[in-house]
Amino acid sequence: MSSTNPSIGLTQQDYENSETLAYADTDEDVTPGEIAVGVIIGRSSEYFDFFVFGMACVLVFPSLLFPFLSKLDGTLAAFAIFSLAFIARPIGTALSMAVQRRWGRATKLTIALLLLGVCTVGMTFLPSYETAGMKAIWALAILRVGQGLALGGTWDGLPSLLAMSAPKNRRGWYSMIGQLGAPLGFIMAASLFAYLYSSLTADDFMSWGWRYPFCVAFAINVVALFARLRLVVGQSFVQMLQERDLEPISVTSLMRDEGRNVMIGAFAALASFALFHLVTVFPLSWISLYSHQSVIDVLIVQIIGAVLAAGAIMLSGWLADRVGRRNTLGTMACLIGIFSFLAPWLLGSGTVGNNVFIIVGFILLGLSYGQASGTVTSNFSAHYRYTGAALSTDMAWLIGAAFAPLVALGVSAKFGLVALGIYLLSGALCTLAALGINRAIEAREQ
């Protein structure tokens, strides 16, 4: 009888079918379950950091740092700072690959996670505009750039290793495991903000309550650091990466030799990444500005949506193993395109419409985001895959998600919610175009 790891649904037979996933001749064998847990812990901690910041952009920073602006303009200014991390992330990847080539993976990961933790906890001590003036705004911008540089350095190759080591008929399932970090990180961040926002007075929340989630983020980063270091310093883990040639190369070499694959990978995931912040960060801002629905109610609905998204991510793995990962991603892009026509009507039809938008959006996000990572990274030759997967993800975040809350809120406030639908539709069309180009290139090269 095969045993099952209940946390990720992998059977012992799956482990046995994953060739060379563990080496019996080493002192530190690494099992697929340990790799999966490392992936989930690492991604959850990173997403928790970023969701805490995103929620603070709506609930805290407009009043704390931009009291001289209207609530709308203050939120837009906060979203502009929010985007800085995604601009810095590809730079962080380039720098971290150089660090890893010189000093090793463990050193790179330690520096990245410590920088991420320091920048995050540094926000805890952020002064208000009334206290420090423009210095407070510059301090937040610098810390946010630091978060982006750090996140670029957290790439450890675990998702690629897990996907490449999976049995051929289970690659969709294995690929979705790392994506579970997104809903888990969101659930933790939203639950903490909902508790603090409902338990404290408005003055207490703005004085010190909002700072607590940033302290928690630092603690989570410490746990994640040790959990991931335990894997990456093990001889078995290093041997597995070397077996699959998952080693860093310079970004310059990557873009010179396989830059086309980087951009195809980025645009292939665009629908998922565009939807990502449009159902997590944007609804909180729009509803708090233009609806009477309470912040607590919105956060509770979003938490429910995130739970459903986690289930949808797992479902995406099952679907991808039956119809193909690319077909799954393309089908979800079509559904997101249909959703883009309904989104303006839903968000403009009161509390019920708002809730339906959030729930349906989260489910679509789970189904698409579950296979958004690595769907076309198999295009990279083995030598370029480690850095190529990291940089493709960076570019997808930058193009699809970095400016999504800023653009969506800005154009919707000026031109109406129909602009939100157009923005989301453009992401779906880009995904379908990229998948079509990728298919044509493969057919031509066969």
User: Per-residue confidence at 21, pLDDT binned at 50, 70, 90?
Assistant: very low
Nearest to 89 by CA among 31, 150, 172, 164: 150
List, for residues 237-259, the tens digit of each pLDDT value. Answer: 667 777 766 778 888 989 998 88
11: phi then psi, degrees, rounded to nearest 5: -90, 165
List, for residues 288-329, the tens digit of each pLDDT value. Answer: 999 889 999 999 999 999 999 999 999 998 998 888 888 898
Residue 396 three-state SS: helix
List, for residues 408-444, the tens digit of each pLDDT value. Answer: 999 999 999 999 999 999 999 999 999 998 888 777 7
**Residue 304: predicted pLDDT:** 97
List, for residues 44-98, the tens digit of each pLDDT value. Answer: 888 898 899 999 999 999 999 999 999 999 999 999 999 999 999 999 999 999 9
Which helix (H) or strand (E) segment holds residue 5: the answer is strand 4-5
- The rounded distance, in Å, linking the Cα atoms of 247 and 234 is 15
Residue 159 or 106, more confident: 106
Burial of 309-328, coded b for 16+ CB within 10 Å and e otherwise, reads bbebbbbbbbbbbeebbbeb
Nearest to 117 by CA among 193, 212, 208, 224: 224
Which helix (H) or strand (E) segment holds residue 94: the answer is helix 71-103
**Residue 63: predicted pLDDT:** 95
Q: State the amino acid at position 138 in one-letter form.
A: W
Query: For residue 202, is pLDDT > 70?
Result: yes
**Residue 14: predicted pLDDT:** 45
List, for residues 358-413, the tens digit of each pLDDT value. Answer: 999 999 999 999 888 766 666 788 788 888 888 988 998 999 899 999 999 999 99
Tokens of 281: 């960060």
- The rounded distance, in Å, linking the Cα atoms of 439 and 330 is 12
Ramachandran category for residue 240: left, alpha or beta (phi over 0 → left; psi -120 to 50 → alpha):
alpha
The separation between CA 279 and the C-alpha centre of its own chain, rounded to angstroms, equals 13
Residue 30 three-state SS: coil
pTM for the full predicted model: 0.88
